[in-house]
Amino acid sequence: MNQPGKGMRVGLFATCVNDIMFPSAPKAVATILERLGCEVIFPTAQTCCGQMFTNTGYFSAGLATVRTYVEAFDGFDYVVSPSASCIGSVREQHPMLAEQGTGSTHASRHDRALLQRARRLAERSYDLSEFLIDILGVVDVGAVFPHKVTYHPTCHSLRVAHVGDRPLRLLRAVRGLQLIDLPDAYTCCGFGGTFCVKNPDVSVAMASAKAHNIIATGADYVVAGDNACLMNFGGLLHRDRASVKPIHLAEILAESRTS
């Protein structure tokens, strides 16, 4: 297979949710990127993008994760992640947090350097779909997935990371895959980080509406680029014994079997 990633050293940002709950997604990213010739490295110094803290208003905890992110990935030309939401946080929030840290009266030279590093690193951080299409120039990754699939475009992939239709283009190139339009696809599933526990009733109402639309497609799989969202409506689909299974985009793109 064509190896456009030859000579590229890529830092894999697994994200905490995938590390702890869904390791198959970052594994699939490694599989795809290695297949395309990249050297994939998982720097163990990484922890989390910190948006859980930042978005709840706890900026100092968020700033600590900016440091872990910068320390883990500073040496890489590219950072790739199976979460557009976490990449969005890296791009939008990390510089903001570093700047807030810099703005305090106790800011050290170290903090000011952090802002510069966070900004530059944000520019080199990619969601999987962006990296494949924009950097490697690949739409067909050689995947085979002979199933009916419906795609949920996550809010942060659309409106923070701005991945646009890249995931759909990748899915359309998968052999055997039958893509079914999801009604009301662009509406939030109600996860929202800590929103799902701070406003559980509204969150469940939103997830139910999403689950209803997913089931209505009759698809075998519902795919998204973010496991947090999949976990949200997936948890509801599982409770309701729905047959449709949540799956991460990377897992489909890593499938090369013909079964």
Partner 1 sequence: MNATTTRVTSRDAARLTPAPPPGLLEDSPVFPIAAKRELANSQLRNNLARATETIRTKRAIRVAEVPRWEDLRTAAEAIKNATLRHLDDYLLQAEANLIKAGAHVHWARDAAQADQIVVDLVKASGVDEIVKVKSMVTQEIEMNEALEAAGVAAWETDLAELIVQLGHDRPSHVLVPAIHRNRAEIRDIFVEEMGRYGTPAPDGLTDDPAELTAAARQHLRDKFLRARTSTSGGNFLVADTGTLVVVESEGNGRMCVTLPDTLISVVGIEKVVPTFEDLEVFMQLLPRSSTGERMNPYTSMWTGVTPGDGPQNVHVVLVDNGRTKALADPIGRQALRCIRCSACMNVCPIYGHVGGHAYGSVYPGPIGIILTPQLRGMSAPVDRSLPYASTLCGACVDVCPVKINFPEVIVHLRHKAADLKKADRRPHMETLVMGVVGWLFGRESRYTWVTTASGLVGRVLKAGLDGRQKFFGWLPWPATRWSQARDLPIPASQPFRRQWKKRSSSPGRTPEGLSSHDRDTEVRP
Hey, which residues between 97 and 136 contact partner 1 (CB under 8 A)?
none
Residue (180 or 204) nearer to partner 1, CB: 204
Contact flags string 228-247 toward partner 1, x per CB under 8 A: ---xx-xxx-xx-----xx-
How far is Cα 254 from Cα 248, in angstroms, rounded to an integer?
Answer: 10
Contact flags string 194-233 toward partner 1, x per CB under 8 A: xxxxxxxxxxxxxxxx---------------------xx-
Residues from 174 through 193 that contact partner 1 (CB under 8 A):
186-188, 190-193
Contact 34, 40 (CB under 8 A): yes
The pair of structure tokens assigned to 76 is: 């890489």
The pair of structure tokens assigned to 234 is: 């997936």
**Smallest distance from partner 1 to CB 71, Å:** 8
Query: What are the b/e assignments for 179-212, b being 16+ CB within 10 Å?
Result: bbebeeeeebbbbbbebbeeeeeebbebbebbbe
Residues from 4 through 63 that contact partner 1 (CB under 8 A):
14, 16, 18-24, 26-28, 30-31, 34-35, 37, 39-40, 42, 44-48, 50, 52-62
How far is Cα 181 from Cα 37, in angstroms, rounded to an integer?
Answer: 33
Residue (64 or 139) nearer to partner 1, CB: 64
Helix extents (H) in 108-199: 109-123, 128-130, 155-159, 166-172, 195-198
Residues from 148 through 167 that contact partner 1 (CB under 8 A):
155-156, 158-160
**Smallest distance from partner 1 to CB 58, Å:** 4
Contact 195, 207 (CB under 8 A): no
Contact between 146 and partner 1 (CB under 8 A)?
Answer: no
